[in-house]
Amino acid sequence: MDKDKILIYADRMGRYNAQRHGLPPVMGRVVGYLSVCEPMEQSINDIADALLTSRSAVNNALKLLETQKLIHRSRPAGTRADLISLNPISMESGFDPAEYQELAALAREGLEILKDASPERREALEATASLGDFLSERLPKLYQEWNEHYQKSKKATK
Is 119's pLDDT higher than 80? yes
74 and 148 belong to one structural domain: no
Is 26's pLDDT higher than 80? yes
Contact 83, 74 (CB under 8 A): yes
Calculate the average pLDDT of the chain: 92
Neighbour count for residue 40 (Cβ, 10 Å): 13
HSE (side-chain half, CA atoms, 13 Å) at 81: 11
8 and 74 belong to one structural domain: yes
Overall domain count for the chain: 2
Name the residue range of residue 138's domain.
Answer: 92-156
Domain C-terminal end among 34, 58, 87: 87
Rounded to an integer, what is the distance from CA 78 to the centroid of its chain? 31
Q: Which of 57, 68, 81 is nearest to 21 (CA)?
A: 68
82 and 108 belong to one structural domain: no
Domain C-terminal end among 54, 71, 87: 87
Residues paired with residue 26 on neighbouring β-strands, in sequence order:
none
